[in-house]
Amino acid sequence: MIVINLDVMMAKRKMSLNELSERVGITIANLSILKTGKAKAVRLTTLDAICRALDCQPGDILEFRNDD
């Protein structure tokens, strides 16, 4: 299972959903879907933009959990 820790990185960077939305260029609704883990996919260009805005690595946002 892939877990998205977007809220953790946003908190570390003290960045609001509104500010991240503006910096990344995607809607607040789409960011919310990512943040809550309801997204089925994420474009690499979107992940790139999020990492640039939050000054982080993809591994800081995406985590694999083996829930056997």
Q: What total number of domains does the chain contain? A: 1
> Is 34 part of any domain?
yes
> Is 66 part of any domain?
no
Helix locations, 1-68, DSSP H: 6-12, 17-24, 28-35, 44-54, 58-61
> Is 10 part of any domain?
yes
pLDDT computed for residue 10 by the predictor = 96
> Is 67 part of any domain?
no
Cα 64 to the chain's mean position, in Å? 14
**pLDDT tens readout for residues 15-58:** 999 999 999 999 999 999 999 989 999 999 999 999 999 999 99
> What's 6's domain CATH number?
1.10.260.40
